Amino acid sequence: MMHRISLGACALAVAIALPSLTVAAPRSGGYPAAGGAVRTTEPVFRAAPPAAAAPQARPAPPAGGGFNFNRDIAPPARPAPAAPPPVARFAPPARPAPVAPQPNRPAPAYRRAPNTNASGGQYQGRFIGPIVRNPHAPGGTWGWNHGVAWRPAPVYWGGGFWGAFALAALSDALLFGSVIDDQDQLIYPSYQIQPDTPGWDLLQDYELQQTPCGPPNLVVIWGPDNSVICAVPNDQVGPGNYQVDPSTFTLVPAQ
Amino acid sequence: MLAQGVAAAEGVTRVQQSDGSVQVYDHTNIQLTGDTLRLRSPDRKGVLYVESGACSFVGSLQRCLPFMTTLHQHGETHQIALEHGAVYMNLTDSAHHMPHSSQRLEPHAVLVLLHTARGTFVSVKGTMDAAK
């Protein structure tokens, strides 16, 4: 099953947990003195000496107050001896694909396309229209987003347009097909998009159904940061390569 | 735009370390400038900046994806690498339900969820003290 970051469920869990946290006495030694505003769930024994209040393995609170991010700001551990870099290899989707894989096309050992702020892969610069009108998006620039400009978030696949796919958490097991660029010997991975995202809404507007990338004659949609997804063609959108115009929420075909 | 709150900040920040220990910071001051949240510790000695992108709307709530956090503390600045997270903001004057949840987000409230690259979970919930 596709790994998803269930934002709604996560939000609910935290929201519920926040008011029900166990309240303990403030730790001695370093936490803010102003009003005793910092609490900790660690057990604290008032009679014990300060040094025994926390196991040594735990990070000491900031000596001068503030937030405790000691583990996050500590220097990184010494790296292990350098190993030869792994070769990125294409792996087929973990789940059965609704469309048969492209025949006679073994998976090449190309490297992954770098995550850049470009868009369109090997078709970059060829998306010149004519625009396929979005029948449902409100008019005007950024009208679909309440007039607020949408900007990609760098540490997520597709800048977060298709969902909260943290690049650090993605793996071949999550692939939903891929697009292979033989000319540049690159692989553009694709993933199953998440509901309640701009990408999901875009497909809904065009009544498109996502399908794993790979087979020919699909609607290939290039999104922000060189992301790509594929869909089954329909009456509104024929097979071919398209680029998302985030400002108008439309598809622009490659020529 | 919200004026600087006269009442004490009501944000609650919860930091769960990778070893399971938890610190809770009541009265966190929360300010929003553009797509950046500024979270100030109750003792005013630490400030965490959370920069977000990919902001879109889920119903009436704005949801963003945080991609960079910076801690200013003790005269030093530290980048804290993020793995993923989410920021929900209610910029309206009425309460709205969180997506797929019965939980409501009050007017001008925020909910921040962060998972750092080193395994620290951070949550922040409260009303914005200022927004511009």
Predicted ipTM?
0.88
Q: Does the model's pTM come out above 0.90?
A: no
* DSSP SS3 for B13: strand
Arithmetic mean of pLDDT, A180-186: 90
Write down the pLDDT at residue A5: 43
- For residues A100 and A197, the model is more confident at A197
Q: What does each C-alpha distance from B100 to A12, A14, A140, A213, B104 come to in angstroms?
A: 8, 14, 29, 29, 11
Whether the CB of A138 is below 8 Å from some CB of chain B: the reply is no
Count of domains observed in chain B: 1
**How far is the first Cα of chain A from the last one, in angstroms, to the nearest whole number?**
36
> Do the domain assignments include residue B1?
no
Whether the CB of A173 is below 8 Å from some CB of chain B: the reply is no
- For residues A53 and B101, the model is more confident at B101
Asked if the model's pLDDT at residue A207 lies above 70, the reply is yes
Q: Which residue in A has a C-alpha nearest to residue B99's C-alpha?
A: A8
Rg over CA atoms, chain A:
24
Write down the pLDDT at residue A43: 38
What are A215-239's pLDDT values in tens digits? Answer: 999 999 999 999 999 999 999 999 9
Asked if the model's pLDDT at residue A107 lies above 70, the reply is no
- Which one of B15, B29, B65 would you mutate to disrupt binding with A, by most A Cβ within 10 Å of its Cβ? B65
Whether the CB of B99 is below 8 Å from some CB of chain A: the reply is yes
Instruction: Tell me if B19 and A58 make a contact (CB, 8 A cut-off).
Output: yes
Q: What is the mean pLDDT of each run of 10 residues along chain B (132 residues)?
A: 53 95 96 95 96 95 96 96 94 92 93 96 94 82
- Chains A, B: CB contacts within 8 A come to 202
Q: What is the DSSP letter of B81?
A: -
pLDDT-wise least confident of A39-43, A70-74, A122-126, A216-220: A39-43
Going from N- to C-terminal start, the domains of chain A cover 119-253
Whether the CB of B74 is below 8 Å from some CB of chain A: the reply is yes
Whether the CB of A26 is below 8 Å from some CB of chain B: the reply is no
> Which among A34, A62, A146 is the nearest to B42, CB-wise?
A34
- For residues A125 and B109, the model is more confident at B109
Domain with B56 in it: what CATH number?
2.30.29
> Do the domain assignments include residue B33?
yes
Arithmetic mean of pLDDT, A234-248: 96
Whole-angstrom distance, CA of residue A136 vs CA of residue A138? 6
- Write out the residue range of the structural domain in which residue B77 sits: 6-131
Asked if the model's pLDDT at residue A159 lies above 90, the reply is yes
> Do the domain assignments include residue B75?
yes
Instruction: Tell me if B84 and A5 make a contact (CB, 8 A cut-off).
Output: yes
> Which among B19, B56, B78 is the nearest to A198, CB-wise?
B56
Arithmetic mean of pLDDT, A65-83: 80
Sequence-separated contacts (24+) of A241-246 with Cβ below 8 Å = A241/A120, A241/A123, A241/A126, A241/A127, A242/A127, A242/A132, A243/A119, A243/A120, A243/A123, A243/A127, A244/A119, A244/A161, A244/A199, A244/A202, A245/A131, A246/A150, A246/A161, A246/A198
Asked if the model's pLDDT at residue A122 lies above 90, the reply is no
Whether the CB of A29 is below 8 Å from some CB of chain B: the reply is no
Chain A CB contacts of B42 below 8 Å:
32, 34-35, 37-38
